[in-house]
Structure 1
Amino acid sequence: MIPIHENLKDRVAVITGGSGVLCSEMARELARQGVKVAILNRNAEKGQGIVDSIREAGGTAIAVVADVLDRASLEQARAEIVEQFGRVDMLINGAGGNHPDAVTDPEVYDESGEGQSFFDLDESGFSNVFSTNFTGTFLATQVFGKELLKSEAPSILNLSSMSSYTPLTKVPAYSAAKASINNFTMWLAVHFAETGLRVNAIAPGFFLTTQNRNLLLDEAGNYTPRSNKIITATPMKRFGKPEELLGAMLFLVDESCSGFVTGTTIQVDGGFMAYSGV
């Protein structure tokens, strides 16, 4: 059991994409720490499901419908959260994901033309994936930033990816967007350093989630060829468990642990980034 961080009690966290596998685990842990949690999601039912589980465990949470690519909906969400909880102390930018329109079928270009190649990628699909992962982070940070600056210990935590360092095959839009998240995290950290607002990121390694399950497991639940590549390149020889992100999250949002840490991205990856393959 992770120790309780007493100074996080009664703080307010906004989590975009809060019903996702990884972010919902973060939301539950923050609530266990005494943080009041606002789950932002386009889907009201999914967000409410996470809120219900938090409340059943004795925590405080609300579900707010918002689209991170719609400034007006984010502003409405901010107003609702401030009305309910009075302030915002931390923002976790977790909204993101991928889409088949922005994914190639072959890992490398194949002149036979089988499957969706780079040249077949839909421009709007590519732009949408990039925007959801990067522009959504930019807009949410703009909308909630002024409230964060009113906090005594404000913090932003962005969600990066292994593909931000070395782009994964098949997913060019997602990879480009996550690389932008790392750069943007550093830019924001410098821009707001003198205000006391710290900005950091977590780069999860490979975790089984709803979005990637079909890529990583076949219909029988066995590893796909892509999964076997990942496991071979991960020194710990397994996928991560969502709860294994929580220690890094708490370290970064708790200024008593990381008060002089800003502009960094912590890899939680089982050694994936450290392994050369040899």
Structure 2
Amino acid sequence: MCRCRNVATQNIDERNAAGTKPRKQNAGRTKRRHEKKLGGDVSVAILCGAFHVTTAICQNITKTTTKCDGQENSSAPSCSSSSSALVHVQNRGQWPAEVLAKFLADCFVLGDFVSEEEEKQLLDEVWPHMKRMRWEDEHWDGQIQRYREREQMLENWLPENQALIRRIWHTSFPAPFEPSPYVHILDLHQDGFISPHLDKSRYCGRVISGLSLLSASVMRMRHKSAELGQLCVADLLLSRRSLYRLSGSARYDFTHALLGAEESRFGTQTVPRERRIALICREVVVPTAKSDQIN
């Protein structure tokens, strides 16, 4: 769901955008393990401020995923070449060949985009802000349920996390795409979900890319036309620490949704829904007459 800076941001606490640094741990402090409830429902073990969430479901679905180390490729990878194990195309034989080819060329999911330590590093910075915010029952446009969100400019992140965000940019925004300096942080409750939608062109550019933290989830892609929407459906497994990217046909011709607990399946495998935090980056919007008319 698009939350670029020029959208009405009445539900975002702008005062949190400064990005306060988390406290450093006392080196002499004895490590203690606590079991806490985050968001009221998700049990997360916290060891000296680090999140440790056990997620074994993705290993049962696929044992081989593509890793990305910020390689110097001039163009973004595609589903067909980089992440077929994380993409399930329903009714494949009934898709028009051209529609399928364009869809697979215009999206990707990269597993293990960040390491466990890098995930902890990001969460250590994000969590102190999110825990002060209340869960919202409905988004301003009605498309997200049980969530909380904020935005943070790149310059307000800790230096080590700025490097991780730049890695996302390098992978998802090859020239001529330019990422927005604002990172959208979306905290989705385990009972939350995102309804099918197309992000509005006047607020979001041609590329949407998201890093999934804490847990796995399933993103459903469905063709926006009434005729093809019954056949052209695909599911993306957004495994923990994976990066997804939507552009071109996947961005404009397919709605995307994050499935709730009752529907959360990837192929024949159930993907249990837990709390999920996503860092979402979008292309900066250059106002044009065309973008003002679309969506």
Normalized against structure 2, the TM-score is what?
0.24
Which structure shows the higher strand fraction?
2
Normalized against structure 1, the TM-score is what?
0.25
Which structure has more relative contact order (CA 8 Å, sep 6+)? It is 2
Which structure shows the higher helix fraction?
1
